[in-house]
Every structure is written in structure tokens, then in C-alpha cells.
Amino acid sequence: MGLPSDPSPALLILAAFSRHEQALAWARQKTEAAWGPVALASPAFEFTETDYYQATMGPSLKKQFFAFQRLLDPVRLVDLKLQSNLWEAEYAALGKHPEQRPLNLDPGYITLAKLVLASTKDHAHRIYLGQGIYAEITLSFRSAAWQASQWTYPDYRRPDFQRFFLQCRERLKQAVAGKP
């Protein structure tokens, strides 16, 4: 019989996407005020893999990732997703842009073995966490590289995204080892 144990700390990440640089900057400011300083920020990548979001978010979307300095207990993922949903609604209510959903925020975390994203949508590969929030393992780390699964979003398969996630994983390794 195995004994329950606490999980290892994880690196909190956030995927923010919008067609408005102002929205991405607002997301960073809002999340840093609540979740602490950003340790790593990706470039604002072109988001071209799907037009799924175009009806509510408009064309020419950019996706930017933020990895936060403070490590995370993975059990907090539900609260973080609920909070990010409130922030999306708050930003939309400002009325600065014509789109129905000018900003999309997806929190998740990285461990040494995986990248997990929170979602409000159920699917066969997602685990219910509570309060209407699900989790999925989007990427796993095997053979010294990030590995996609059949359900991995197309953009998360990109080499430029995965290079950023490798930097995040390295930062986590250093933090767990007690190095700044």
C-alpha cells in the first residue's frame, strides 16, 4: 500500500492571448499583483494554429506565456482558473475593445514531468478537479524533451513554445535545488 504524500512544488504558468498588446500588458500587471513577480516571459507568439477563437476574439491573435517566481502547490489550480476567468470578464467589461472576449487567460503549471493546463471544458482526457474546473496533461517530459499526446493543442507542439517550456523547467529545477 502506498502512503499519501504532498506533491512537489510546481512552476505556475499563464498563457495569455489577445490581439491587443494592451490586453497582454494588463494581464501581466493583474497577475503579478496577485501571484507575484514573473520570472520568465515569452515573446508574444503569433497564434495561427486555429481560427476557433476568431468569432469572439478577432483575428491576428498573439499568445504570451508568463512563468512566476513563486512556486505553486498544484492543488491551487482550481482557484487560479476561477480567478483568471474573473479577470477575463473584468477586462472585457472595461469596454476598451470591440471583441466580446478581448483576452483569454489559461493558467497551468509545470513540474519536472509534465505541463498541466486548467480548463472549464470536460473531455475524455481531462480530470475533474472541482468547481467546474478540469485539468489535462498537455505535454509530458520524456527522453530529455517535451512530448505531445494525441490531444495536445497544435500550438503547444510548436518548437518555439517548447523551448520556452524548457527554460521554465530549468528554472523549476534550480528553484527546487535552492538556487536563485
All domains of the chain, ordered by start, with CATH?
10-176 (3.30.70)
For 112-135, what is the mean pLDDT?
97
pTM of the model: 0.95
Which tens digit of pLDDT belongs to each residue from 128-167?
999 999 999 999 999 999 999 999 999 999 999 999 999 9
Measured in degrees and rounded to the nearest 5, phi and psi for residue 62 equal: -125, 145
In terms of pLDDT, which residue wins out, 123 or 178?
123
Rounded to whole angstroms, how far apart are CA atoms 97 and 67? Answer: 26
- Nearest C-alpha neighbor of 47 from the set 137, 158, 135: 158
Cell of 32: 503579478
What pLDDT is attached to residue 180?
65
What confidence tier does 179 reach under pLDDT thresholds 50, 70, 90?
A: confident
Listed residue (118, 43, 111, 114) closest to 80, CA to CA: 118
Provide the b/e sequence for 23-47 (b: ≥16 CB within 10 Å): bbebbbebbeeebeebbbebebbeb
Model pLDDT for residues 29-82, shown as the tens digit of each residue = 999 999 999 999 999 999 999 999 999 999 999 999 999 999 999 999 999 999
